[in-house]
Amino acid sequence: MAMNYKEEDGHHNSGVGPGPAVKSKKPDNTAFKQQRLPAWQPILTAGTVLPAFFVIGVIFIPIGIGIFVTSNNIREYEIDYTGIDPNSPCNKCLNVTGTSNTTCRCTINFTLEHPFESNVFMYYGLSNFYQNHRRYVKSRDDSQLNGDKNSLTNPSKECDPYRVNQGKPIAPCGAIANSMFNDTLSLYQIKEGSRVSIKLTKKGIAWWTDKNVKFRNPSGNSSDLAVVFKDTEKPINWKNPVYDLDKDDPENNGFINEDFIVWMRTAALPTFRKLYGLIEKGDAQYAALAPGNYSLDIEYNYPVFSFDGRKRMILSTISWMGGKNPFLGIAYITVGSICFFLGVVLLIIHHKYGNRNNSADIPN
């Protein structure tokens, strides 16, 4: 009996008579699958590596020194007003709860030794508060915050269990909004025994894109937001509804309230600070905050003791690189110094052993 063999791409098909061809597993003859694409393969030699190390060192070290010096020139003053210390004026407010209807007040006196020349930014800081928790970050309804009327009365289920209260939809819904920071901070300068209030600007503290794109009030009677939000309920831990967050400025209410917008931008780390207000410099001849005695009045509403948190008030100026941050300058100096040091070490090794290796390749 005759046997019929068919060879294709190195595979054999044996059998009597014609049969189905075996599909080849050989890759297609293309530049990509046959690894024939053009590539650049640099050859690392002492002549290319050593200059690179020295150039990085020479560039990075001066940049790092400049950034570090600039950061150190930024004035910053911080007050921890949690009240953990029994001698703290705010110790009496330590056990305040978020659902309490009474407000605990305390005053902390402090002295500024150096002037804060330019505009001063006031921040509030929290510690051990994990705003980056996955479930916490998702607990919001962006459509509702963008002014969608359907989402206003029918919030997303992502907001549970802060979606409905007393049979009405919560606006704004979710855990982020429900836990909004609500301490009130007031700064006074003490002059000749009397206290002079320092004006704190609350507008312009949020990102432009947040204020004008992501957050919008529902369409309707813009002059009376109470009518727009009449079918909703305030978050459980809030004392005032969303349309009455700023009693001094009616245009800073609802979902476009800038304190609210700042809080809704969640922090990446458990210790963070958020902008509370701006102290603008008035007369060019005088500093925004002159050296002297000051007092900080606090309406202590926000509980942190239950989760071992801390609260701070920070006064800070800024520079061309932003706020005080010595890490970036230290990082540049460290990387530049390491590269320069490695360049020196490799240069010594190359000078000592390079000629020996070259002479070994020359035949006798």
Same domain, 227 and 137: yes
Within-domain flag for 159: yes
326 shares its domain with 199: no
Would you say the C-alpha torsion 220, 221, 223, 227 has a positive or negative sign? negative
pLDDT value, residue 110: 93
Q: What is the DSSP letter of 364?
A: -
How much is the average pLDDT of 160-183? 93
Task: Give pLDDT, residue 234.
Answer: 92
Average pLDDT, the chain: 87
For residue 33, is it within any domain? no
Hey, CA dihedral for 222, 224, 230, 235, is it positive or negative? positive
- For the cut 80, the answer to whether the pLDDT of residue 286 exceeds it is no
Band of residue 358 on the pLDDT scale cut at 50, 70, 90: low
Are residues 196 and 289 located together in one domain of the fold? yes
Residue 281, CB-side half-sphere exposure with 13 Å CA sphere: 16
Residues 128 and 144 in one domain: yes
Assess if residue 350 is contained within a domain: no
How does DSSP classify residue 49?
H
Residue 358 inside a domain? The answer is no
What integer is the mean pLDDT of 135-150? 93
Q: Identify whether residues 130 and 233 lie together within a single domain.
A: yes
Query: Is there a single domain that holds both residue 268 and residue 197?
Result: yes
Classify residue 84: in a domain, yes or no.
Answer: yes
d(Cα 128, Cα 311) in Å, to the nearest integer?
10
Same domain, residue pair 327 and 251:
no
Read off the DSSP letter of residue 300.
Answer: E
pLDDT at residue 273, rounded to an integer: 94
Statement to judge: residues 175 and 242 lie in one domain: yes
Q: Which domain covers residue 175, as residue numbers?
A: 76-317
**208 shares a domain with 60:** no
pLDDT one-digit tens code per residue, 226-281 = 888 988 999 999 988 999 998 888 888 999 999 999 999 999 999 999 999 999 88
Please tell me whether residues 235 and 96 are part of one structural domain.
yes
- pTM listed for this prediction: 0.78
Instruction: Look at the block and give the residue holding tokens 């520079």.
Output: 319
**pLDDT exceeds cutoff 90 at 63:** yes
- Whether 109 and 180 map to the same domain: the answer is yes
Question: Is residue 342 classed exposed, middle or buried when 0-12, 13-18 and 19+ CB atoms within 10 A define those classes?
Answer: middle
Residue 103: the pLDDT is: 82
Instruction: Say whether both 222 and 184 belong to one domain.
Output: yes
Number of domains in the chain: 2
Query: What number is the average pLDDT over the span 65-94?
Result: 91
For residue 355, being part of any structural domain is answered with no
Q: What angle do CA 244, 186, 177 make, to 5 degrees?
A: 40
> Is 247 part of any domain?
yes
Which pLDDT tens digit goes with each residue over 287-303? 788 899 999 999 999 99
- The reply to whether 63 falls in a domain is yes
Q: What is the DSSP string of 228-274?
A: HTTT-B--TT-SS-GGGS-SS-GGG-GGG-HHHHHHHS--SSSSEEE
**Res 36 pLDDT > 90:** no
